[in-house]
A = this chain, B = another copy of it.
Amino acid sequence: MKIRVGILGATGYTGAELLRLLVNHPDVEITWLTSEKFSGRQISDVFPHLKGLLDIECNSVRRFNDLSDTDLVFSCLPHGTSMHFVIRMLDAGARVIDFSADFRFPDIKTYENWFKSKHKYSNYLKEAVYGLPELNREDIAGARLIANPGCYATSVIMGLAPLIKSGLVIPDSVIADIKSGLSGGGRAPSLERHFSEANEGMGIGSVSGHNQKPEIEGIFSGLAGARYRVTFISHSAPLDRGILATVYSRLTGKMTISKIRQIYKMFYKDQRFVRLLDTGIMPFTKNVRYSNFCDIGLAFQEDVLVSAVAIDNLGKGASGQAVQNMNIMFDLPEIEGLGPTAIYP
Interface 0/1 of A313-342, CB less than 8 Å to B: 000000000000000000000000001111
- Kindly provide the distance from the CB of A299 to the nearest chain B CB, expressed in whole angstroms: 4
Interface size on A, residues (CB 8 A): 84
If the complex has contacts A196-B183, A306-B233, are A241 and B202 also in contact, measured as CB distance less than 8 A? no
The verdict on A115 contacting chain B, using a C-beta distance below 8 Å, is no
Whether B203 contacts A282 by the Cβ 8 Å rule is: yes
In the bound complex, CA of A340 to CA of B30 (Å): 14
* Stretch touching chain B among A16-24, A66-74, A79-87: A16-24
Whether B237 contacts A202 by the Cβ 8 Å rule is: yes
From the candidates B13, B52, B189, B231, name the one contacting A189 in the complex (CB within 8 A). Answer: B189
From the candidates B182, B203, B295, B342, name the one contacting A53 in the complex (CB within 8 A). Answer: B342
Whether B47 contacts A201 by the Cβ 8 Å rule is: no
Interface residues of A (CB under 8 A from B): 13, 16, 20, 23-24, 47-54, 175, 177, 179, 181-183, 187, 189-191, 193-204, 207-209, 229, 231-233, 235, 237-242, 244, 246, 248, 272, 275, 277, 281-291, 293, 295, 297, 299-302, 304, 306, 308, 310, 339-345
A-B contact pairs, 23 of them (CB 8 A): A24-B340, A47-B344, A49-B287, A53-B340, A53-B342, A175-B175, A177-B246, A181-B202, A182-B196, A187-B191, A187-B196, A189-B194, A193-B196, A194-B194, A194-B195, A199-B345, A201-B285, A203-B285, A207-B308, A209-B301, A231-B304, A232-B301, A233-B301
